[in-house]
Structure 1
């Protein structure tokens, strides 16, 4: 089974949104038995919390499930458990590199999936409030990532 871990700062806005969106796309393509998805944060402030209200509201509008999702923090096992580690911004990449096992890990910066976008990091809607912009980026980037996984691994 191929595995993807999305990583952001607190694991309540961007990475759970990406987890839910990619899961939905995997189901639509009939790949549920071949790809698993999770998300985690580099910080521990929200461990055990459900996704942010803004993320939940947006996912509800798109009828995308986030059932059972709660925030957790990245740990060193993630580097061996996941084939793709996808970080939302440069700070997340830097923080992942500091986790034991992260020094040599292959980490994808999410916006590298969308080279035609001007933004080079997925903005944190916890601070900006712009969940719609983040959803647009995540929706497009998850399509690219899923196509890449199918091409490279399936």
Structure 2
């Protein structure tokens, strides 16, 4: 099983959006039995809460399910994930402070996947209110991340081999 964790600040806007989008892409390629997806926040303000209404609305508009999304905090045990995907540089740094240096190589920013992007950090719509911009950036990054994971783990649509 390949595991992916998306991380933002409060786990109510960007990272649950990425989790839902990525799950939909994984399911679309019949890889949901091979790739596990979760999200977390580096802060603890929203633990146990559902995603922000703006996140839920943009997911509904794009017919992406948001069932079961509840905020949780990132912790040291999350080093078990194969891919730890930060929404911005600040959260990337915060995670590296929590993880021992042996696991720093697993942590990278989502928009590192999108070479042509002018943005290198996914803006926080909690402050900007621009959920459409965030959706577009996250959707693009998730598509490229899935291609990377498929390549890294020798996965093809619907198969069950690779890293188990």
Distance 2:100 2:66 in 1: 29
Measure how far apart 1:41 and its partner are. 0.2
Check whether the contact 1:6–1:85 (CA below 8 A) recurs between aligned residues. Answer: yes
Corresponding residue for 1:31?
31
Q: TM-score, structure 1 length as denominator?
A: 0.96
Q: TM-score, structure 2 length as denominator?
A: 0.90
Secondary structure of the 1:77 match is helix
Q: How many residues align?
A: 153
Matches within 5 A, 1:47-126: 47-79=47-79, 81-101=80-100, 104-106=103-105, 107-126=107-126
Residues 124-149 of structure 1 deviation map (CA, whole Å, 9 limit, x = unaligned): 00000000000001111111000000
Measure how far apart 1:105 and its partner are. 2.1
Check whether the contact 1:76–1:99 (CA below 8 A) recurs between aligned residues. Answer: yes
Check whether the contact 1:87–1:110 (CA below 8 A) recurs between aligned residues. Answer: yes
Measure how far apart 1:115 and its partner are. 1.3
Distance 1:93 1:59 in 2: 25
Q: Which runs of 5+ in 2 are unaligned?
A: 156-164
Check whether the contact 1:97–1:103 (CA below 8 A) recurs between aligned residues. Answer: no
